[in-house]
Structure 1
């Protein structure tokens, strides 16, 4: 690694990881009732601590604005009473979910009488490295607790005060339940060296999950010696097929782009079949213009963009690889389904891809051939979400193919062990 990590930071992180390991052994033994009671206590503690959390969040926002933080990032960082209450409700929702620990994945009795079964068990210690999204702090703590894992959180410095106020409340609640505070640890100092020390604490930390922009994720994937689950950059597409219901397609496109543009499941590109472009583009571009979306268009879309009064620019190749996370969208006309899928292969990030069509054969081909964690038919990309899928809060959306893919909830935070019971069999 090109960067030398401050040895004192490494020592500090290792000590925290060792304490988290001890806490994880306790968590692994808890009954579901004990874990659920603790989750309710954490939720109540968040509500009680709302004034302190909002005060800390205001400090972070003031500092962010002074440092020129973008509106999209401010939206991710900003908390109000409703958002804190939603995080608390998320913890209660996790308490209501089935406990994955102890679930038998498969099992059988062998001809020699050995009984074998594969059982879900906690990972142990999970490191989360993420940007200025305070809700991740709560989601990771709750999902970690329910799945029997200790979590070490490394949030972005932009949310530093918010994360401290949140984690203090959560740790006090754990102590009040007679549980180890070190089940939830925040790395609040040490700068980037703290993140690097966490990524390289192999043997002390079992799994690292990065959540944020492309630069953060790629840095963790490159530098980590601890196993990593990549969570996704979302360069998501909506493809409007020639057999689409065009009113439905306009509603889906507008929702996918404008419902909450700063998140990874917002659509960044619209692809329109050439046969319906003249009918569809005037309506959808006007809808997007009314929602203040800036368009990045190919030359054949330009006349429609001009007629819609939208702010627009001619799209570059790089634009189609960009996760805007803002009210900006690429628009292109494609010749057919094959051209749409080829465009997605070149520019998609493997997160979520949507087709709008009434042609079942086209939908079947799209779902079979498009390589993404989630493929939608006649639905907004905004549904790629653990809560929307009924999993409760999610730890992230995985775009890699090993172990976990798509919205990651409780089962994805466990591994398995084989338990073999015999009667004196020898081989």
Structure 2
């Protein structure tokens, strides 16, 4: 598998960018400097020609050569101490020494060169601004392409880094979309070499976490399974005891019943936490609701609660029937436990915007303030004192809903006291 190095990619593209900018700068400086030098040297040729033959007419020299007056040479000649000629109105004082010199004449800086043979002295002068102009133009010519380096480097290097880091975006989306029970390793394909060790370490962590979760699930399932048999035996033995409605016997029987229910819920939760989903089939949602309500009719009548079901239209969905039954049975059982005698529990199936919505409404005590954020935590109970429960009903319901891509919400009713639980497809 080919591994892409983030460092080598960035350096490679940066080197290519700088090399291209350097070549462009060299070419631009060459073209600009050559143009300036050509204009200047053409002017020099013309000036030498005119000065070599005093009195000759100005030939058809190109006008561009003399467009810059400061480029022109100023020639002064002295013979036997007498000034024969002086150009451009420069200082007519005879220089004291020969050779190169920097002088100020007429308020301007000049670069001069003087030579003499005893009786005759010639001085050629040129403004310093010419040299400054050459240097400035050459510098600007070299700087102009370099000024493009910053925005071009942002574009080129940003594009190169985006290509390399695009795989990291895929990795982030993979991590964000994983559930708590996801155990597949992260794919290292296309990941930069510098990030590959991090991906390998994360894969190792995923494997260790999955092993710990599997061990926890096995423990809960095994413990719950092993507890079912002795609890069932205790129920039989308590039922066989003499003593009529002895309070201690009734309390013991109630405790065993609660323990049996807790074990049963733990087994359900362990099965729902298992990644191996059951076989799905097309399920009649309305029929599942009717069966769940029928299973709780005895409990509702025992508490003098009016329970009903209203199915607006038949709906069929792909689902695991047992898990769907667990979902709605948990919600109905929870509503019955929190509704006092004489209350009402209604189960409805409606279509909203073409999507099936199941609602379980009760007239119970409702949700206490501040409990909404913890409703689905395992073993959390928002019930007031005196109401039995294990705190697993809503946790089981939500886990079953998640396995079917459904959304479960529980909130207080707005029309009257009580709570409403709604199950709908996730948007």
- TM-score norm. by structure 1 comes to 0.21
Question: Which protein has the larger Cα radius of gyration, Structure 1 or Structure 2?
Answer: 2
- TM-score, normalised to structure 2, is 0.21
Return the structure number with greater relative CO, CA threshold 8 A, min gap 6. 1
Higher helix share: 2
